[in-house]
């Protein structure tokens, strides 16, 4: 071997070669039985002085036993590779079609670490070798050709480890089982060679297979995707239409899924009222709207359910600032529900009973104004809608706008006379003190009969003194009481029209907005009233 050039070392190699031909049958037996000659260490040191580039010269400290094993393997491998004169040169490692011994020589890591500098070609093809890439062979950085084809190597190709192999001009990794790598196709390493070096190696992206895969995905995956989208959109349309754009949403129709989401799964935290048949929840819709949900759990016939839906359709069309808005309804096999806007719990009755801040006349007439405007709206546009009109059913907003909260659709048009009578009772309840009303709690007919029998002087004593009326305001209140008495008189000749009532309340309301420069507070004594002057 030319890389070990000293005369004495050539003698050693010749002796080893003769030994391997005559005494030893295999490389493993030689590694076991042969020992370095006495002059071996000094010969190695001399070689390193003469040729420092020898690979074993760079090892520190030198492992002479390992170097000796290297010379034995080199001798055997040179002969196995059918090099013509191994004593002088070792140009190639040729283990083609040698599946019995190729794995053995590849396992000698120490040989490849001290790889002879004269080797320019390594060929271990067609051996059905398995395992990862034999990276030890890349210690032979001077080689020009490397053939690992027709094996079963797997894993990644160590692209970076090829960088020192600057003389490599031929590479064949075809017909292996390497891992597919997109990085390989784009690397400088791939550009040094061509695709023939990697035929069926598994490392390159198979564009035809990739195209076939895309076609399969397109033909199979796309229809599945379309079906899933259709199913999702159908679910959204029928279960959660509130996720759709506002223009595509079904107005006034709610689904159980929407109500479930609005109440956090019908949580007990959101349950604000409950009876045997009705559960009342507070909820928040997806757009942030707070709602009241009245859920009815009673079983009704199909005809009654149809009437329920028709009634909800009518009520959801109502649009007035003094009506609680009906947003829609929900139908389910287990329940039916009406959804309205969420309002404050305070009603007119609670407002009138306030001891800390009793409402003045100007605020009370504003409430009357709102109620009569709503009555006109219903009479003119929705005569089939009936409503409750008492201080407990009329709610109040923070701006003191009254809200009629109880109404329903009936099969016939409502009597105007009856509604005007209800308003008269409501007006008197707003103006008179609580003691009078308590005597007739829940007895509207008794209250009406009693009020018709009261004389003028007694009636003035019944006015709520907490209003602290001035002379002008007191005159307005007396007119309002007279109007209320006219309303509860159901004879056609005496009862005023709704238009007349509206005009009268409107004038009273406007008068409260423009106060005179001087006024008087009225105090009461038994049998009459007197005025106490003061500046306003």
DSSP string, 472-506: HHHHHHHHHHHHHHHHH--STTTSPPHHHHHHHHH
Q: Is the pLDDT of residue 464 over 70?
A: yes
- What is residue 177's three-state secondary structure? strand
Q: Is the pLDDT of residue 304 over 70?
A: yes
- The pLDDT, as a whole number, for residue 272 is 92
Phi then psi for residue 329, to 5 deg, are -145, 170
Q: Which of 153-167, 235-249, 273-287, 398-412 has the lowest mean pLDDT?
A: 235-249
To the question of pTM greater than 0.75 for the whole model, the response is no
pLDDT per position as a tens digit, 325-372: 999 999 888 889 999 999 988 999 999 888 888 899 999 999 999 999
Mean pLDDT of 363-392: 93
Bond preceding residue 61 cis, omega within 30 of 0:
yes
- The pLDDT, as a whole number, for residue 416 is 85
CA atoms within 13 A on the CB side of 137: 27
Burial of 238 per CB tally in 10 Å (0-12, 13-18, 19+): exposed
Can you state the percent helix, strand and coil of the chain, rounding each to 5? 45, 15, 35
Mean pLDDT of 308-314: 91
Quickly name the fold that domain 240-342 has. Answer: Phosphorylase Kinase; domain 1 (3.30.200)
pLDDT band at 520 (very low <50, low <70, confident <90, very high): very low
Q: Is the pLDDT of residue 461 over 60?
A: yes
- What is residue 118's three-state secondary structure? coil
CA dist 507 and 448 (Å) reads 25
Contact criterion met (CB below 8 Å) for 7 and 47: no
- The pLDDT, as a whole number, for residue 19 is 43
Local structure of residue 330 (DSSP, 8 states) = E
Percent of the chain with pLDDT over 70: 85
45-205 has which CATH code? 3.80.10
Give whole-number Cα distances, 499 to 221, 379, 495, in Å: 69, 11, 12
- The pLDDT, as a whole number, for residue 535 is 38
Pick the CATH number of 345-514 from 3.40.50.720, 2.60.40.10, 3.30.390.50, 1.10.510.10: 1.10.510.10
- The pLDDT, as a whole number, for residue 533 is 41
282: enclosing H helix or E strand: strand 278-284
> Whole-number mean pLDDT of the chain?
83
Q: Which residue has the tokens 């002085």?
A: 49
Q: Which of 118-132, 234-248, 317-331 has the lowest mean pLDDT?
A: 234-248
pLDDT per position as a tens digit, 404-438: 999 999 887 788 888 998 999 899 989 987 666 66
Q: Mention every residue, 6+ apart, whose C-beta is less than 8 A from residue 149.
A: 125, 126, 172, 173, 174, 175, 176
Q: Is the pLDDT of residue 521 over 60?
A: no
Q: Is the pLDDT of residue 528 over 60?
A: no
Q: Is the pLDDT of residue 68 over 60?
A: yes
- The pLDDT, as a whole number, for residue 209 is 61
Q: Is the pLDDT of residue 202 over 70?
A: yes
Q: Is the pLDDT of residue 321 over 70?
A: yes
């Amino acid at each position: 071997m030319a890389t070990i050039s000293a005369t004495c070392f050539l003698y050693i190699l010749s002796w080893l070669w003769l030994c391997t031909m005559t005494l030893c049958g295999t490389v493993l037996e030689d590694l076991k039985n042969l020992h370095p000659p006495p002059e071996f260490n000094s010969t190695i040191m001399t070689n390193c002085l003469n040729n420092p580039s020898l690979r074993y010269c760079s090892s520190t400290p030198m492992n002479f036993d390992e170097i000796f094993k290297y010379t034995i393997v080199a001798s055997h491998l040179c002969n196995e590779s059918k090099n013509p004169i191994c004593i002088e040169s070792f140009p190639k490692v040729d283990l083609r079609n040698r599946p019995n011994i190729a794995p053995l020589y590849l396992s000698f890591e120490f040989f490849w670490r001290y790889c002879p500098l004269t080797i320019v070609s390594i060929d271990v093809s067609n051996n059905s070798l398995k395992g990862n890439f034999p990276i030890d062979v890349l210690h032979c950085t001077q080689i020009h050709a490397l053939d690992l084809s027709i094996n079963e190597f797997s894993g990644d190709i160590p692209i970076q480890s090829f960088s020192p192999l600057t003389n490599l001009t031929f590479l064949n990794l075809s017909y292996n089982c390497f891992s597919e790598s997109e990085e390989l196709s784009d690397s400088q390493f791939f550009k040094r060679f061509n695709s023939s070096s990697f035929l069926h190696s598994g490392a390159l992206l198979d564009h035809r297979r990739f195209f076939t895969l895309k076609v399969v995905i397109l033909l199979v995956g796309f229809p599945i995707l379309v079906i899933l989208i259709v199913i999702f959109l159908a679910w959204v349309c029928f279960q959660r239409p509130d996720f759709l754009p506002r223009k595509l949403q079904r107005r006034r129709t709610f689904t159980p899924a929407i109500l479930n989401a609005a109440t956090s799964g019908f949580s007990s935290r959101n349950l604000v009222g409950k009876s045997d048949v009705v559960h009342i929840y507070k909820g928040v819709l997806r757009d942030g709207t707070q709602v009241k949900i009245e859920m009815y759990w009673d079983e009704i016939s199909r005809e009654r359910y149809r009437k329920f839906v028709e009634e909800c359709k009518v009520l959801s069309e109502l649009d007035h600032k003094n009506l609680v808005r009906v947003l829609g309804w929900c139908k389910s096999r287990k329940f039916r529900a009406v959804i309205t806007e969420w309002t404050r719990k305070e009603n007119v009755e609670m407002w009138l009973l306030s001891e800390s801040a009793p409402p003045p006349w100007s605020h009370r007439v504003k409430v009357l104004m709102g109620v009569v405007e709503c009555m006109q709206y219903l009479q003119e546009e929705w005569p089939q809608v009936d409503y409750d009109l008492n201080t407990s059913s009329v709610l109040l907003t923070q701006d003191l706008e009254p809200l009629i909260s109880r109404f329903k659709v009936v099969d016939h048009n409502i009597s105007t006379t009856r509604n005007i009578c209800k308003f008269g009772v409501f007006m008197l309840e707003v103006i008179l003190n609580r003691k009078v009303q308590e005597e007739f709690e829940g007895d509207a007919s008794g209250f009406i009969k009693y009020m018709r029998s009261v004389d003028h002087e007694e009636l003035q004593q019944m006015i709520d003194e907490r209003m602290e009326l001035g002379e002008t305001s007191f005159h307005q209140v007396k007119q309002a009481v007279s109007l209320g008495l006219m309303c509860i008189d159901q004879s056609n000749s005496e009862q005023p029209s709704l238009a007349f009532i509206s005009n009268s309340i409107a004038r009273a309301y406007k008068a409260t907005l423009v106060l005179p420069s001087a006024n008087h507070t009225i105090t009461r004594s038994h049998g009459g009233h007197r005025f106490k002057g003061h500046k306003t």
